[in-house]
Structure 1
Amino acid sequence: MVQWWLTRMMVMAVVVGVSGALWADPILPKIFSSNMVMQRGRPLPVWGTAAPGEKITVELGGQSASATADAQGRWQLRLPAQEAGGPAEMVVSGATATVRCENILFGDVWVCSGQSNMEWRTKNSHNAAEALPAALQPQIRLFDVTNNKAVAPLPLTEFEKSPRWLECTPESVAEFSAVGYFFGAELQRELGVPIGLISSSWGGTRIEPWTPECGFADIAELTDIRQKVALANPASAPYQARLRQYLADTELWLTEARQALAAEKPILTKPDYPQELVPLTGNREPTTLFNAMIAPMVPYAICGAIWYQGESNRHDGPLYFYKKQALIGGWRQLWGQGDFPFYWVQLAPYNYGASQPYVLPRMQVTQTSCEAIANTGQVVINDVGNIKDIHPRDKVTVGKRLATLALKKHYDRDVAVWSGPVCVDMTVAAGKARLRFEHVGSGLVARDDKPLSHFELCGAKGIFVPAEAAIVGAAELEVSAAGVDVVHAVRFAWEQLAEPNLMNREGWPAGPFVVGEVPVTNDLQERIPEAAGYHPLYVLDIAEKPNYHNEPVPYVVDRSKDFGGMAVERIAYCLELQKEGQPLQYVFVSMDAFTQNLAQMGVPTAQSEAFFQQNVTGMTIAANVPGVPTGMNLNGGNIEFWPSNYGPQNQANVPNASASAFDFGDGGGKAKEKGYGCLQIHNYEKKCTLIAFNRWGGGTCELGLGNSPQGNLDWTFTSNAGQYSLRRLTVLVQLR
């Protein structure tokens, strides 16, 4: 925290200047203005700038405190806690000037942050015609950072533009966060105290930019982000060490260049400036939005925060837990208010594309898991979403549910129901699963009085099938499916378009869940005898437009931790493709292990540093695709695995390959560079591509079984993934 404040003050010195003459009058940050709400019941930090050595006195509510500006003109003090009420006036007095903030109320201040669904304006919510005329509420005050979007490589002490506190009126709230307003209005109605709302959101942004640098510390799963941020921070030891090394390399080059000039000899180009030292300035880069849109208000006393974000991180899956932990922990550390309440909205159903139906429920379940973080909570809204619109217009329900959650968990109000049904236990008997729920209110019901929807059972084969569910008692369900005699697991609402009808009688819906143990089985061996004896390592439902360079590869199955340290004897790949209404096609290829690095057996990424352009031995091929050679222990196998761009040149001198067309002998691939991407398996003796998966760094990817009938044999430049309704890659291993 000390380093954060030092960095922050360095930025202030650059922005404001070091001349005391600039600070002759006391200056308050923009978070302090007339009409503000200051947090009740908590000591109130007040800070600003003045002339170095100038004494500043702040009077508020009959109390006063003083501080002396330091050598850089900074001052900060704390005023005693105040009871709810107002209006009051704050007077900041220096040696020659006075600043006044009028019409101040004391109540509860909430930060409202996230991406576009938090940013969504009240005037665009579906009930705006009724809500806006009723929004003349002087006990609610609004501070809108969202309309002052900015990024910064280091924490700022001031907002770049000029937000100010406004009384809530139909005009001021029309452009304000709808979720934030309806949340605040419900709190004000229930509590009868002033409510201050600070909106700071940016549509389409990820969670990492909203997280301060300190949040990433000590979270091993986020080491790569922590290192990236540190290398871009001039105050950090890694930055300074890397810059010293660059300067030393440059000085050595200068010496050699002068010597070469005198001797009339050639010299190599000078060392390139390390790109990792370039300041982070994009709105998707870690810390940049916190630095510009949150840091300038810290440590303004607050009550808590609400959060509506996740669409842009939906591919993270379980990794999002650690990122949410970093966000919440970082904010709490810098605010210095302990574990203040932090509540969020689970993502609503939406059609993100047919290629990724399970990405959303995995993310939703991860969001639920984040409730393990102290003093947090979540509301589910799969009953008020819109699968055709990523911005559901019903923000009233969202805001009121967040307020109800806060009333129960923070304000300790007597609220009977503040959550939808949550599955807490499963027992199995006679081929049926009995599920027990908490938060059932006065009982479980179907919202539309129809049979309960979106339940699935998993049997011994590890495959989920549609199931029927029936309510048995106030808090239990019985789930069964034809043909499933042994039940291993149940999952619910496991599809991005799922708008399930299970809820409690009070109208709160149940969110997606999986309960039980899902067996990881090699179902390929039931239809491909050559797959017998292999264990699935990775299973990937390939997106039509993947972005595996900038997002973690979203494996449906990832057993790399299970097999860590075990010796792999053989590796197998099976690519399955199916067009709508046509039979499933596949090619299965196994080979002697070409690496023991499990990460490099999957989709080659710059992070895994996978690069293989080599022959493989002991190749066995099984396929139902015409023209693909099959057999056991075949010669002539080779692989081309890399994350980068590549060219048609036959760089590895593969027999039978062309030097001018993309096929089974290409070149230019690199291990650590992000680019087109190539995962190809060939039989060069038969002049045949067996499996091709190209272009996962952006745009429509390319998939092929056997040789492409047109253009390049290895399917490069076909952009054909949209032709298939099923696209699945399975990586398997045979252990010693």
Structure 2
Amino acid sequence: MRIQALLASAALLALATSSLAAPLVDGALGDHAVLQRGRPIVLTGKALPGEAVSANLAGKTVSAPADKAGRFRLVLPALQAGGPYRLLIDAPSGQQLIDDLLIGDVFLCSGQSNMELTTEQAQNSFQIYGASDPQIRLMSVPKRLAFAPLDKPDAPPAWTAATPATIGKFSAVCFYIGQSLRETTKAPIGLIHASWGGSRISAWLSPDGLEQAGLGEPAKTLALYTRDTAAAEKAAAGQWETWWRDTSGLAQGREPWRDDTGLAWKPVPVIGSFNRWGLPEMKGYLGMVWFKTEVTLTAEQARQASVLNLGSIDDADRTWVNGQPVGGTSLGRARQYRLKPGVLREGRNVILVNADNVYADGGMLGPASALKLQFDDGTSLPLDQGWLYAPAGRSKSNAPRSPWDDINGAGTLYNGMIAPLGPVSLKGVAWYQGESDTGLPGYDRRLAALMKDWRTRFETPNLAFAIVQLSAYGDTAKRPVENGWATVRDVQRRVAEADGHAAVVVTIDHGDPLDIHPGEKQEVGRRAARAMRALAYSEAVAPSGPRIAGAARDAGGGVTLTFKDVTGALSPRSGAVAIGFELCGAGVCRFANGLAEGAKVVLSGDGQPIDRVRYAWAESPVVNLFDDADLPVGPFEVAVP
């Protein structure tokens, strides 16, 4: 028996070091991966049509024939935590050995830049050097956009063990979730990180999820884009133009791309960020700015097809030539818009650009040398001079983006980064996103649709979701105001509570008023892990800390708030009263202090109408109410019956 075992090991070693055919399996499976314990292990891939494919793992072998397209699906029995194991996939056309597999719990971490922020960029990065753990495995999904769901990744997934070299480049929040769960579960932990800074939630939805989220039209336009790009571009431009008319109140025919005489044009000082022009009106400016220039063309130039090169524009643009929409793009990448014959004309031509800046530097970033009109005969006309600008202010609602448009599109990141993960089984999902959806109506529907969508995608109806609430950033609010970030936080809370298998991770006490990417990620990871312990492991811990349960009027005209999931009692820090509360009624909100009594907070009336109470309702609110587990009360708005 010992000789047979040695021979088998030698055969596997020879297989591992020999030159093999292309990988047979696809999805998130690769060397050093973690497979979800307690669930059947599903393998999919491609072989030759009709040939038998087998898989052997932990002494169990299964086989099935490939279909007419060569696709196969194998299901191995569930395993308990353990390993390492080797998985052998065998077919007449080739073999594949996947080595150093662990069986444990697998988590997907996704969202935008605060999930993307790496451990070496976060606070306490020195702790990386003592955080090695061979039982924690990391895999970052390469950034990829796609207009239709991909059935496999572009390259085999790169799983690694957690070492100082790999931890530092990995998502900080995601790693700290895994590290915390390792301490409590003692099982191997697999972490899959798939996020993209600045992304809207719509980009992470599948075609079916987009329908559920009320985004059926963008989904159809994206599908049209794969068949007829020109028709889809025209449809997207029409949607933007309709939005502009509705938002600005201008009648048809008075829009800037048809009549720009109503704008207060000024010369552009230099091609580059308008925030750096040295002009007081543009310093720190967030909002839309119109740009235009005019060029005179010969008959020979006008009759040709050409490419309009506008360099980099931040954050998003919508561009017209002679009143005809020619394109629109997000982020800072170079704009290159193809102009068909007939768009240009002999003599005067007007190029009009709307640049929408939503964060940091904005405008036509250049470089100036990149701005030119390139004709099909190889000649070009520079466009680096003669530009005018006119600020248009900040719109009340965000402009629509093209469905295929990078990270703000409809399903582009789901198609390129989630769909290719294959039939991976998950224990839970950590979701940290919402900044880019601030000001967009319907986030509640989109967030609920995402959870339903991904539960269907990963075939786990009760898949746990830890939704990280937006941290504090921006104005501390000297008086009660309506606030988009506070609204998103409350939507996150409401959607999680209505779901039953989700919880918010409160981070309001770990933000930074001056940095949208607060450095404290370790505690965020611990709190997200706590939520997972309650949701995915059924531990008797409060998933979110103290949560508002209800409000009742007092006989004296005040309001008593009742909280649930309170560990011990509520108490204010650095004072005798709890701050951050607002009494609202008759369209007006007023600051109010609260007295904590166990799991309740009493707010005294002020003789004015009260129909609701808000808490921590600002971009960067000052709060001081915690329970005995040092967990803060999170932002909320509650009706007072």
TM norm. shorter chain > 0.5: yes
- Judged with a 3 Å threshold, the aligned counterparts in structure 2 of structure 1 residues 369 and 234 are, in CA distance, closer, same or farther, namely farther
Specify the code of the residue in structure 1 equivalent to 2:422: V
Q: Which residue in 2 is equivalent to 1:543?
A: none
Specify the code of the residue in structure 1 equivalent to 2:527: R
Q: What are the residue-to-residue correspondences of 1:707-722 with 2, within 5 Å?
A: none
Unpaired segments ≥5 residues, structure 1: 1-22, 243-268, 519-736
Preserved CA contact (<8 Å) 1:30 1:164 = no
Q: Secondary structure of 1:113's partner? A: strand
Preserved CA contact (<8 Å) 1:222 1:322 = no
Shift, 1:222, TM fit: 3.5
Q: What are the residue-to-residue correspondences of 1:145-156 with 2, within 5 Å?
A: 145=141, 148-156=142-150
Cα RMSD of the aligned pairs, angstroms, is: 2.8
Matched, 1:92 2:89: yes
Shift, 1:490, TM fit: 1.8
Q: Which residue in 2 is equivalent to 1:339?
A: 462
Preserved CA contact (<8 Å) 1:346 1:381 = yes
Q: Which residue in 1 is equivalent to 2:592?
A: 467
> Distance in 2 between the 1:87 and 1:44 partners?
15
Q: Secondary structure of 1:41's partner? A: coil
Q: Which residue in 1 is equivalent to 2:493?
A: 368
Specify the code of the residue in structure 1 equivalent to 2:133: Q
**Which one of the candidate residues 413, 420, 424 is aligned to 1:300?**
424
> Distance in 2 between the 1:212 and 1:271 partners?
38
**Which one of the candidate residues 500, 505, 529 is aligned to 1:379?**
505
Q: Which residue in 2 is equivalent to 1:631?
A: none
Preserved CA contact (<8 Å) 2:475 2:618 = no
- Judged with a 3 Å threshold, the aligned counterparts in structure 2 of structure 1 residues 104 and 218 are, in CA distance, closer, same or farther, namely closer
1:477-506 deviation per Cα after TM superposition (whole angstroms, max 9, x unaligned): 111254x24433221111112031112121
**Which one of the candidate residues 170, 174, 180 is aligned to 1:186?**
180
> Distance in 2 between the 1:475 and 1:172 partners?
43
Q: Which residue in 1 is equivalent to 2:570?
A: 444
Q: Which residue in 1 is equivalent to 2:113?
A: 116
Matched, 1:284 2:408: yes
> Distance in 2 between the 1:476 and 1:374 partners?
24
Shift, 1:289, TM fit: 0.4
Q: Secondary structure of 1:283's partner? A: helix
Q: Which residue in 1 is equivalent to 2:291?
A: none
Preserved CA contact (<8 Å) 1:316 1:363 = no
Q: Which residue in 2 is equivalent to 1:397?
A: 523
Shift, 1:183, TM fit: 0.3
> Distance in 1 between the 2:568 and 2:476 partners?
37
- Judged with a 3 Å threshold, the aligned counterparts in structure 2 of structure 1 residues 43 and 470 are, in CA distance, closer, same or farther, namely same
Greater RCO, 1 or 2 (C-alpha within 8 Å, sep 6+): 2
TM-score (norm 2): 0.67
Shift, 1:450, TM fit: 4.8
- Judged with a 3 Å threshold, the aligned counterparts in structure 2 of structure 1 residues 374 and 229 are, in CA distance, closer, same or farther, namely farther
TM-score (norm 1): 0.58
1:606-657 deviation per Cα after TM superposition (whole angstroms, max 9, x unaligned): xxxxxxxxxxxxxxxxxxxxxxxxxxxxxxxxxxxxxxxxxxxxxxxxxxxx
Specify the code of the residue in structure 1 equivalent to 2:445: Y
Preserved CA contact (<8 Å) 2:110 2:194 = yes
- Judged with a 3 Å threshold, the aligned counterparts in structure 2 of structure 1 residues 213 and 416 are, in CA distance, closer, same or farther, namely closer
> Distance in 2 between the 1:327 and 1:297 partners?
16
Q: Which residue in 2 is equivalent to 1:567?
A: none
Shift, 1:302, TM fit: 1.6
Shift, 1:218, TM fit: 4.4
Specify the code of the residue in structure 2 equivalent to 1:409: L
Shift, 1:194, TM fit: 0.4
Preserved CA contact (<8 Å) 2:201 2:446 = yes
1:268-301 deviation per Cα after TM superposition (whole angstroms, max 9, x unaligned): x9999xxx9x982522111010111111113212
Q: Secondary structure of 1:499's partner? A: coil
Q: Secondary structure of 2:89's partner? A: strand
Specify the code of the residue in structure 2 equivalent to 1:345: V
Matched, 1:158 2:152: yes
Shift, 1:97, TM fit: 2.6
Shift, 1:99, TM fit: 1.0
Which has the higher mean CA deviation after the structures are superposed, 406-415 or 176-185? 406-415
**Which one of the candidate residues 327, 336, 347 is aligned to 2:450?**
327
- Judged with a 3 Å threshold, the aligned counterparts in structure 2 of structure 1 residues 475 and 109 are, in CA distance, closer, same or farther, namely same
Preserved CA contact (<8 Å) 2:135 2:189 = yes
1:175-233 deviation per Cα after TM superposition (whole angstroms, max 9, x unaligned): 001100000011111001000000001001110011111112345x4344444345446
Matched, 1:74 2:67: no
1:518-577 deviation per Cα after TM superposition (whole angstroms, max 9, x unaligned): 9xxxxxxxxxxxxxxxxxxxxxxxxxxxxxxxxxxxxxxxxxxxxxxxxxxxxxxxxxxx
- Judged with a 3 Å threshold, the aligned counterparts in structure 2 of structure 1 residues 503 and 40 are, in CA distance, closer, same or farther, namely same
Preserved CA contact (<8 Å) 1:489 1:516 = yes
Specify the code of the residue in structure 2 equivalent to 1:228: T
> Distance in 2 between the 1:113 and 1:367 partners?
15
Unpaired segments ≥5 residues, structure 2: 1-19, 236-339, 344-399
Q: Which residue in 1 is equivalent to 2:348?
A: none
Q: Which residue in 1 is equivalent to 2:211?
A: 217
Matched, 1:496 2:619: yes
Shift, 1:423, TM fit: 4.0
Specify the code of the residue in structure 2 equivalent to 1:216: L
Preserved CA contact (<8 Å) 2:152 2:422 = no
> Distance in 2 between the 1:517 and 1:303 partners?
38
> Distance in 2 between the 1:385 and 1:183 partners?
18
Q: Secondary structure of 2:439's partner? A: helix
1:369-402 deviation per Cα after TM superposition (whole angstroms, max 9, x unaligned): 1111241111111111111111111111111111
> Distance in 2 between the 1:88 and 1:491 partners?
53
- Judged with a 3 Å threshold, the aligned counterparts in structure 2 of structure 1 residues 69 and 467 are, in CA distance, closer, same or farther, namely same
- Judged with a 3 Å threshold, the aligned counterparts in structure 2 of structure 1 residues 158 and 189 are, in CA distance, closer, same or farther, namely same
Preserved CA contact (<8 Å) 1:491 1:515 = yes
Specify the code of the residue in structure 1 equivalent to 2:432: Y
Of all paired residues, the percent bearing the same amino acid is 33
1:453-473 deviation per Cα after TM superposition (whole angstroms, max 9, x unaligned): 1112124x33111212112x3
Matched, 1:205 2:199: yes
> Distance in 2 between the 1:94 and 1:401 partners?
46
Preserved CA contact (<8 Å) 2:88 2:95 = yes
1:693-722 deviation per Cα after TM superposition (whole angstroms, max 9, x unaligned): xxxxxxxxxxxxxxxxxxxxxxxxxxxxxx
Matched, 1:477 2:601: yes
> Distance in 2 between the 1:498 and 1:430 partners?
28
Shift, 1:430, TM fit: 1.8
Instruction: Choose 1 or 2 for highest CA Rg.
Output: 1
Specify the code of the residue in structure 1 equivalent to 2:565: H
> Distance in 2 between the 1:110 and 1:89 partners?
21
**Which one of the candidate residues 185, 189, 192 is aligned to 1:195?**
189
- Judged with a 3 Å threshold, the aligned counterparts in structure 2 of structure 1 residues 433 and 76 are, in CA distance, closer, same or farther, namely same
Shift, 1:447, TM fit: 2.6
Q: Which residue in 2 is equivalent to 1:142?
A: 138
Q: Secondary structure of 2:438's partner? A: helix
Matched, 1:427 2:553: yes
Shift, 1:50, TM fit: 1.4
> Distance in 2 between the 1:353 and 1:296 partners?
42
Specify the code of the residue in structure 2 equivalent to 1:338: P
Q: Which residue in 1 is equivalent to 2:362?
A: none
> Distance in 2 between the 1:458 and 1:94 partners?
69
Length, aligned pairs only:
454
> Distance in 1 between the 2:194 and 2:60 partners?
31
Shift, 1:56, TM fit: 1.1
